[in-house]
Structure 1
């Protein structure tokens, strides 16, 4: 840090870095702080201080029910996408077959496909074929958009994996499944966890697919927030967003504390 400040270029880069962080974090800070205002509308800085909007958001059963739906769908989508993504990444890195690059491109294609186009296409497909019912339609759609994130994180990790370790386990009598679960999986676990977390966040935050495919009686939390904003942007809606930001911050803080504890223990 001291060396960077001695150089004019380093000072400029540090200033740009600080401005970038401020640009990204200040809107989030506004969302968290604005609902503390006593007015019936959002204002920043808040005019007066009260917890009634946060209390109203917590006591509203619509948001709690939608949160449980989002958590259930995001968890199921992330787990299914993790299994499919890891299996695909393992096959793409271990075997050289005709069309391997094409198959990888197909798995990654949802990253560049507009979500609205995918939502309309899946709605027509499920309507005409009658495949899947209820929340499973939305879960299937979320799996499609989550697999690329798992794949993008898992592929580099598996490509760097030393195959001699797996071959040694096979030579010692381990079956292919045993070698994968006892040797490969523990080594690539950080990449798998990262990909699963990305898939969970992507599914939890998705709005467009949920608007088309979610059950009318069981909307997800993003859809509920979107509908509330359309009717009128009350401070309680911002309070829900602020609670999500605070929950994310607490999870990140807990993760860093656990990581620091593990490093000290090791």
Structure 2
């Protein structure tokens, strides 16, 4: 735990230093770098864009991933295993190869430039995470529960949403969260497919680091770490309250 958490602590604590460069332990004590990060509209714009993209990608990935996992587990057809392998194949492909291939494909397909190219590309790499998480739970699901609902007069659609979805909800939420995190942190696809004026926050941080690792960049990263920690604590207490 110390090995994992110390580098994160360095990123959060270093911007408190009064020097114009990253130093640990920090020399002096100031909040000017965090204030500069909060007052810089570029980072806020990039954060909001990344947040919007990640939310859309998580919703699309959860929906399509659940449908794909349901079809693979419920319908016995030739090539089901091959289809499953095809859906999961983006997990083993290097992101750089995927970015180059998608850039060439989108150029030939005529898909309008903009954020929707990035949404489509990130969904391709995020859907497999949802399938991989939801699939085992669907394979263990007791189908007699659905049969009981159908025998009591429920339609297949009502049975799906009232019986199956509540059972797989934890896996679905976990898959959507994984898709959200993957989309929010994605750099390579965003570098290839982003358009001028629509730069995500990870790309901004990456570009700033290439020019020089300034305390403001570390402050932005520290704010992301703190925000993630707050969300994790809220989810933890919400989970405890739900189980209680």
State TM-score, norm by structure 1.
Answer: 0.90
- Give the corresponding residue for 1:257: 237
Equivalent pair of 2:113/2:195 in contact (CA under 8 Å): no
Pairs within 5 Å for 1:68-217: 68-217=48-197
How far did residue 215 of structure 1 move? 1.6
Matches of 1:148 and 1:261, distance apart in 2: 31
- Give, in angstroms, the shift of residue 133 of structure 1: 2.9
**TM-score, L = length of structure 2:** 0.98
Q: Flag structure 2 segments of 5+ consecutive residues without an equivalent.
A: none
Q: Within 1, Cα distance between the matches of 2:92 and 2:5? A: 27
**2:242 and 2:123 mapped to 1: Cα distance?**
32
Deviation per residue, 1:120-162 (Å, 9 max, x gap): 0110111122124310000000000000100010001111111
Any idea what the Cα deviations from partners look like across 1:194-234, whole Å, max 9, x if unmatched? 00000000000000000000122110000011111112211
Q: Which residue of the partner structure matches residue 242 of structure 1?
A: 222
Instruction: Assess if the C-alpha contact under 8 Å between 2:103 and 2:193 holds in 1.
Output: yes
Q: In terms of Rg, which structure is larger?
A: 1
Q: Which of 190, 206, 213 is the matching residue for 1:226? A: 206
Q: SS of 1:133's equivalent?
A: coil
Partners of 1:147 and 1:260 in 2: how far apart? Answer: 28
Matched with 1:43 is 23
Report the aligned-residue RMSD.
Answer: 0.8
Aligned residues: 244
Paired position in structure 2 for 1:57: 37
